[in-house]
Amino acid sequence: MSYRKLTLGVLLMLFGLPSFGQRPNVVLIYTDDLGYGDLSCYGSKIIKTPNIDKLAENGIRFTNGHATSPTCTPSRFALMTGKYPWRQTGTGILPGDAKMIVPTDKTTLPKVFKGAGYTTAIVGKWHLGLGEQVSKNWNSEIKPSPNDVGFDYSFIFPATADRVPTVFMENRFVVATDPNDPILVDYKQKVGNDPTGKENPELLKMIASPGQGHNNTIVNGIGRIGWMSGGTKARWTDEELTFTFLERAQNFIIDHKKEPFFLSYNSTEPHVPRMPATKFKGKSGLGYRGDAILQLDWTVGEIVKILRTNGLYENTMIVFSSDNGPVLDDGYEDGATKGYGGEQLGAVRGGKYSLLEGGTRVPFIVSWPNKIKSGVSNALMSQIDFVASFAGMLNQTIPQGDAPDSENHFAALIGTDKKGKEWLIEGNNKTAIAIVKGDWKYIKPNNGVAYYKLVGIEMGNSQELQLYNLKEDIAEQINLATKFPKKVRELEMLLEKMTAK
């Protein structure tokens, strides 16, 4: 062994760094609105998701894994920053023209990987804002973008599939802009002369559910939230979204197969508007939502395939999860309720937007053939811990004050620790908030609606104290608050203390 190699070896031993050959690539597959019961490996009897099931079979399937919040932006904010969203204002569901809400000067998940020498990329949904202000020129460089918060490469769409602008962005630029057809975006009033769902419903291929919005600018026969004009060549075709993202992800993997990489693949499935590729339309027999889940499962299979054919699969850690729980009718008449009788939730109640477990308890799978012994884990897990857990794996130090809520649970992620977190907080803001500790869950009294009629979801809000034993009553049906006042007090105080700082 040469002197240099020896020195490196001694250094690695001294500092406990994993040897370079062992450092895994990490692929985070982050889905949009996929529910706890939506996959066959989580017990669904109405749909088959063999590719995702295989990840679970070869890895760890977590039964108590959580997004921080029951909607997208706050969950993604927490995952990126390791900070609970209710600590920062403006972290609710963002319009498509919002400014960037991830600070550029703080630790983020991709920066943790970059600090350890990884190449980083994000492909897919963003929804964390872009640029320094709402008003921005979509036809030139936009900063900050994902490239300014830790990603070497980004290929995204700005917000959600149902919000304008319906365009792709590669690094800091919209793809396929045309100076003769500039893109304008507005969320307050109509811009340009494009037809809208409200004025020209006869042009729609999928109509919006009554009272749900989604009736502004029509793109690809679908009414969106917000107005846009121009960018005719830049607008996406929904049926091609996933193929486009997948190809970028595959190219990134191939281009970086010789170095460790971190790839965040943020799928658009099964968020509305569900408009899967023709080859998946009608395949599930469950409407377009089911078809979109089959498309997602196929995509996962393709990602695994490209890793395998490049000899990377064994040493790649694939983390699969969702940003919030499920919803069937989220604004379009797409037949999503057909064939569903609550299966999207499995044993939990509520769903997207809800404080009940269905809001944040989501599929959560980790596979890493070289390292992980397969199994099922009941450890209490949250995506808020990704920053500190991967910093732990890579021996990166997080500067004081950054990622304040993120804990290192790497051992639980790879299955050697069976317990995970001691407690976690669920919810978007301090008024609608809940805490889980061990088997117990306390929901703080609040004035929110108990039932969100438009989407048909029980919200978990009540002016009464709510206490549930999740081990015995995962569906949160028996309120034990009056029976166990001491437990209520304990959790109430913990919640107060943790939300105070």
- Do 293 and 311 touch, CB atoms closer than 8 A? no
Q: Which positions ≥6 away from 283 have C-beta within 8 Å? A: 290, 291, 294
Applying CB under 5 A, the span of 6-14, 67-75, 85-93, 167-175 interacting with Ca ion comes to 67-75
Cα 162-168-170 angle, rounded to 5 deg: 145
Q: How far is the CB of 189 from ligand NG6 (least distance, A)?
A: 17
d(CA 172, CA 154) in angstroms, rounded, equals 8
- At its nearest, how many Å lie between Ca ion and the CB of residue 325? 9
Q: Give me the residue label for tokens 């004009």.
A: 229
Strand partners, 123: 155, 265
395 phi and psi angles, rounded to 5 deg: 55, 40
Closer to ligand NG6 at the Cβ: 33 or 402? 33
Answer with the entry of Ca ion, ligand NG6, none that 272 interacts with (C-beta below 5 to 8 A by kind). ligand NG6
Partnered with residue 191 across adjacent β-strands are none
- HEC secondary structure over 439-487: CEEEECCCCCCCEECCCCEECCCCCCCEEEECCCCCCCCCCCCCCCHHH
**Distances in whole angstroms, Cα of residue 173 to Cα of each of 31, 75, 133, 255:** 24, 25, 16, 21
420 interface partner picked from ligand NG6, Ca ion, none, CB below 5 to 8 A per type? none
Beta carbon of residue 76, minimum distance to Ca ion (angstroms, whole number): 8
Q: How far apart are CA 499 and CA 353, in angstroms?
A: 20
Residues 6 or more apart whose Cβ sits within 8 Å of residue 309: none
How long a stretch of residues is the chain? 501
331 interacts with, out of ligand NG6, Ca ion, none, CB within 5 to 8 A per kind: ligand NG6
**Min CB(33)–ligand NG6 separation in Å:** 5
Among 23, 24, 30, 33, binds Ca ion (CB under 5 A): 33
* 387 token code pair: 């920053």
> In this complex, which beta carbon is closest to Ca ion, that of residue 108 or of residue 268?
268
Q: How far is the CB of 72 from ligand NG6 (least distance, A)?
A: 3
The residue at minimum Cβ distance from ligand NG6 is 72
Binding site for ligand NG6 (CB under 6 A): 32-33, 71-72, 93, 127, 160, 162, 212-213, 225, 271-272, 324, 330-331
145 contacts which partner out of ligand NG6, Ca ion, none, CB within 5 to 8 A by kind?
none
* Per-position x/- string for 248-287, each x denoting binding to Ca ion as judged by CB under 5 A, each - no binding: ----------------------------------------
Given ligand NG6, Ca ion, none, residue 27, with its beta carbon under 5 to 8 Å by kind, binds none
* Residue list 293-332, contact with Ca ion (CB under 5 A): 323-324
As measured in angstroms, the least distance from the Cβ of 257 to ligand NG6 is 32
- Write down the least CB distance from residue 7 to Ca ion, Å: 48
Size of the site for Ca ion (CB under 5 A): 5
- Taking the complex as a whole, how short is the minimal distance between the CB of residue 493 and ligand NG6, in angstroms? 31
Q: With helix as H, strand as E and coil as C, how does 31-89 read?
A: ECCCCCCCCHHHCCCCCCCHHHHHHHHHCEEECCEECCCCCHHHHHHHHHHCCCHHHCC
Q: Name which of 33 and 458 has its Cβ closer to ligand NG6.
A: 33
Output 454 or 498, the one with its CB closest to ligand NG6.
Answer: 454
Residues binding Ca ion (CB under 5 A): 32-33, 72, 323-324
